[in-house]
Structure 1
């Protein structure tokens, strides 16, 4: 039985190019399949927010996660430790997200940010617009996306959300 396991591990190592100086095209292809399956499993162990349109907190994980896993495919880093590092990143994201949920007014705001007011009772908040590089054209687009004619005077509140989206609350029609 031990001999069978030893042979199986040698076949896996050869298929993945573990211990070799350079990888063949077929070893990279096999690595790509293994990394793809491992990435799906790891992301499923994380939470559903990871690759949605969310905060910088979520986007940073996506960038680093992709970078780490690409190294496993190309052989620029050791294969199994790289897969473990990707797993650790997703678990870290999940733990920080849970901590942010339970400390929403403190740690949660540091990690995920806050929405910022851009229009208040029809008045543009120019300092906040400038601070977050939001133009009048950006606000007009957001108003159009609500199905309304772009008229700042009809906007009760407009925010740049944590995701970077602009949300609009129109004033009540009289």
Structure 2
């Protein structure tokens, strides 16, 4: 099993190189799903629960599919890009908290206040826009002084 683990580790590094850096870097739902499934498939190759080479081929197929979907999301307009990557959501507009959006996305004011502090702001009134980004991060755009 140790030899299989070493081989799978090396194969996984090579397969990820076929993809691109953002596969595990941006953490959108699109990327997280791949990470979970990729890890599950590769664990089968390590433990011997599935045939070795077909399991590695399945992992490569998933990475290529991820790359293809990313290409399609970038090069097409309309439904596909937002479906794969999501859309940002406005949580604060002109200093006013959008309560309905907080509720819709299960965010509390404490969550929002944490993001405000991280953005160097203590009061939502000092914010031009606050967005729940596709990655799940909250970004803050301060009002001009």
Please give the TM-score of this superposition, normalised by the length of structure 2: 0.97
Q: 2:135 aligns with which of 146, 163, 166?
A: 163
SS of structure 2 residue aligned to 1:53: coil
Bigger Rg over Cα: 1
Residues 85-124 of structure 1 deviation map (CA, whole Å, 9 limit, x = unaligned) = 0000000000000000001443101111000010111111
Q: 1:152 aligns with which of 124, 128, 143?
A: 124
Hey, what does 1:122 align to over in structure 2?
A: 95
Deviation, 1:143, is 1.2
> How far apart, in 2, do the equivalents of 1:78 and 1:112 lie?
33
> How far apart, in 2, do the equivalents of 1:84 and 1:65 lie?
11
Gaps in structure 1 of 5+ consecutive residues? 1-27
Hey, what does 1:12 align to over in structure 2?
A: none
Hey, what does 1:13 align to over in structure 2?
A: none
Q: Which aligned segments of 4 or more residues in structure 1 are displaced greater than 4 angstroms?
A: none
Q: Which has the higher contact order (CA 8 A, sep 6+)?
A: 2
Measured on the aligned residues, the alpha-carbon RMSD in Å equals: 0.9
Q: 1:103 aligns with which of 76, 90, 108?
A: 76
